[in-house]
Every structure is written in C-alpha cells, then in structure tokens.
Amino acid sequence: MVKRCLLLLLIAGLSAILGKSADTYEPLPRELDGSMMIYDFKACDPVEEWPDSLHPFHALYVARHGARFLSSPKKVSKVEKALYEASTSGKITPRGTDFCALLADIARVTDGNWGALSPVGVEEQQRLAETLVALFPDIKEGERSLSACATFVPRAVMTMYQFCHRLTDINRQVEISTSEGPRFSPLLYFFETDSAYRTFRDKGAAWEEPYKKCVDAIVPTAPARRLLGEDASNDNRHLRDLTLEIYDVIQSNPAAGLPQATTRWMTEEEYRACWTADNYLHYLRNTVNPLSDAARGAVSELVNRICADGDNAAENPDSVGVFNGYFGHAETLMPLLSVLRIPGCHAMTLDWNAVADQWKVQDVVPLGANLLVVMLRADSGRVYAAVRLNGRNVSPIPGRPAILEWNELSRFWKSTLDPVSALSN
C-alpha cells in the first residue's frame, strides 16, 4: 500500500509538471452526489411564522451527522490499485494520471481525518442550530434546558457538539445535557444491533440480485476504461464496479472542501447512471420495501422514544427541557423516515427507474439531514406539531393539515410500527 501510494504521488507530480489538458470541463449536478450531497440551505423553506395563537415550546430533532471526509482509505483503495497496476504495465492513460493527481489531493486533505466531520460539516451544523433558533426564538434567551444523545461514532458525536455549541453561543444560559456511546446503539445504531435487520442488510441477502441486475443494465464501463486504457480488461462486471468506485470518490469531494466532480471523469449521463444504481442500493438496504419489512422492527425503539419524549413534553411542559436531539447516521434516518411514511421517503417498487422518481437519497439523507418536529401550544392548551424534513415543511399524515394536533401525529407514528396498520394508512 505504501509503495503504491508513493508511485501514485510520483505519477501525480509528473502529471502536474507536464501540465493539464487545455480542455474545459463542466461541473456535474450536485444533486447527483446522492448521499454525499452537502446540505442545500438555498432549497429550504422560509422560516415559519407561527399563527399568533400558537407558541412553540418544544422541539424533537433527529439528525444525520454533517459533512465529512471519506470514511476510510478503503474508499479509494480499489481505484488506487487499478491505477497502480495500469501504471506499472504502461497502460495508464493521461486521464488516469490526472486521476492520480486527484487521489493525491484527497490524500493530502484527508489523511488523519478519515471519517471525521469536515470544516464544511462544522459550518453546516452551526447554521442548522441557527435555523432552530429562528423557528423557536424562546431558545435565544432565558434559562433553557436541552438534552441530546449520539451514537459512539466520532463524527456523530462531533455533530451533536457543534450543533449544541452554537446554541450556547446564542444563549449562554442554556443548560445542555449531552450523552453518547454504545448504550444508544439500539436507539440510533440499530442497523447493526438488530440481528434480523443486520442480516437483511448484509451481502448475500435478497437485495443483492436486483441490485446486480441494475448495475449490469445501466452502469457504464467507459469511465473506468478512460483511466486504464481500452485494453485494460474484458471483465465488464469488474469495470462497472470500478466505475462505481470512481463515483464514490468524486461524489464526496465537496463535503471535504474539494472541488465538485466534473465532466473530466464522467459525462452527466454516466454520472446519473451511477447515481441511479447507488440510489437503488440505499433504497433496497435501508427502507421498508417489497423485499423486506425488517426495518420496521429495527426502528421501533427510536419511534417509541420520539413519541414518548413528545408526549412527556406535551403533558409536563414545565418540568422537561425544550429540546430532545438524537444524532446518528444516514442509516438511522432512512429506515425511520420510510417507516413514518414521511413524504418522499417511502416507496414500494423494485423498478430502479421508479425508485429514482419516487425516492431520492439526496432529498432523504443529504449530509446534515434532519427531521424536526416543532411542538406548539395553543391558548386553549391543546398541543400541535409542525414537521420539517431537511428544512422543508411537510404534511406528515396524508390528507391532513401541515400543522396538526400532536396526539394525532403521535398515534399515527406509533401505528406505523404495526405492519397491518401501516398498510391501511
């Protein structure tokens, strides 16, 4: 591995000395970065102005960690190995040497930071905390009590602390209780601790065959061949897998503060094909779908916890804090949002093109994704709730108003844990 990295750095240096191609390349659409798309604040709905008769008094917040560096060196190792082999056999193309330069940039920025929250993610969490305050101005001043928990994974922990740190900047009188660690795994890391769901998510499960069919049908070999040379391999399956590995690398660049992927590496059509396959994989493994209902049982503790915290706040507003935060991962939110039937987060099809129309991973779990429930008390004493997903107002129950009584929403969400009730909703 060390020798290979050194050789790639040498190739990258030679590429820089010889100069880049005079061709110009267009940035690829950011929405095709999929699950690695950075949070789009421009797409958020304006901050809600609540009716005069409703006063926000509590918030429930379930979040994915913010923008991060690539999760591990494994993310680049397959591409690195293929480029190394092509360079030692003299088959590597000029575009391949340019990709070596890109890998060198990624190594320079990411070494020592694999999987960590990036500066992009830190800024993002500060802005998300400010958005909460704009929606819930009572947090701005006076003594307020907040509680938050996170998984044991450092980027989730750091996300929680950056978010809470900004709240303390805004109001030095807030008291924030934060907790993290393995004891929250059944709540927020259930995709590994729930045995039935983990078994379904593992390789060899029912999702693998339809996913392979999708890859074979739509993922191109050309991006890999353009790096390795036309005679690099006759194994199309291997080349398609390598194209997806290239996609995994370049889709992650903006989250690390590196430039957006461009048509230097893929055409927009090729990039979209990779996104379609990647989107399909996330959907198959992480939602309730025709292949499996296992996510429903796995997410039950989190659904019950959210509803219990909301019920407690509604019944005891003076004895509980004003905020409950739960900080996890994309794999925490995807099944949760699917089970709760949040608009745009649930589909029941095995057609990958239909999935691409109905369930878009970047809309469900961009980096920094969050489900926010703002609880509001009326002058009559009744408690209502408004729901936002990734900064956009949603109607959480089909056919019902966007702002509805909390008891109705809580009952509906609990009912989604029953497969029979869920089918009737």
Q: What is the largest CA-CA distance in the chain?
A: 78
The Cβ of residue 318 has, within 10 Å, a number of other Cβ atoms equal to 5
Given a contact cutoff of 8 angstroms between Cβ atoms, the answer to whether 50 and 56 are in contact is yes
Provide the CB-side half-sphere exposure for 266 (13 A, CA): 30
The Cβ of residue 269 has, within 10 Å, a number of other Cβ atoms equal to 8
- What gap in Å lies between CA 244 and CA 38, rounded to an integer? 20
- Could you tell me which residues come within 8 angstroms of residue 329 by beta carbon, excluding any fewer than 6 positions away? 64, 65, 151, 153, 156, 188, 189, 191
Given a contact cutoff of 8 angstroms between Cβ atoms, the answer to whether 390 and 334 are in contact is no
| pLDDT per residue as tens, the chain (425 positions) | 434 544 555 555 544 444 455 478 999 999 999 999 999 999 999 987 888 899 999 999 999 999 999 998 888 999 999 999 888 888 899 999 999 999 999 999 998 999 999 999 999 999 999 999 999 888 888 888 999 999 999 999 999 999 999 999 999 999 999 999 999 999 999 999 999 999 999 988 899 999 999 999 999 999 999 999 876 677 899 999 999 999 999 999 999 999 999 999 999 999 999 999 999 999 999 999 999 999 999 999 999 999 999 999 999 877 778 999 999 999 999 999 999 999 999 999 999 999 999 999 999 999 999 999 999 999 999 999 999 999 999 999 999 999 999 999 999 999 999 976 665 55
Q: State CA 409 to chain mean position distance.
A: 25
Per DSSP, the three-state class of 50 is coil
pLDDT at 421: 62
The torsion angle over the Cα atoms of residues 317, 318, 320 and 323, rounded to 10 degrees, is: 60
Segments in 38-173 forming alpha helices (H): 74-88, 94-110, 119-135, 154-170
pLDDT at 9: 53
Given a contact cutoff of 8 angstroms between Cβ atoms, the answer to whether 171 and 87 are in contact is no
Distance of CA 309 to CAs 112, 157, 276, 303, Å? 38, 21, 37, 10
Given a contact cutoff of 8 angstroms between Cβ atoms, the answer to whether 356 and 323 are in contact is no
Q: Which domains does the chain have, with CATH numbers?
A: 40-89+115-424 (3.40.50.1240)
- What gap in Å lies between CA 419 and CA 94, rounded to an integer? 55
pLDDT at 137: 85
- Could you tell me which residues come within 8 angstroms of residue 246 by beta carbon, excluding any fewer than 6 positions away? 79, 99, 223, 224, 227, 265, 266
Q: Would you say the C-alpha torsion 209, 191, 71, 279 has a positive or negative sign?
A: positive
Given a contact cutoff of 8 angstroms between Cβ atoms, the answer to whether 284 and 291 are in contact is yes
DSSP label at 118? Answer: P
- What gap in Å lies between CA 4 and CA 43, rounded to an integer? 42
Q: How many residues does the chain have?
A: 425
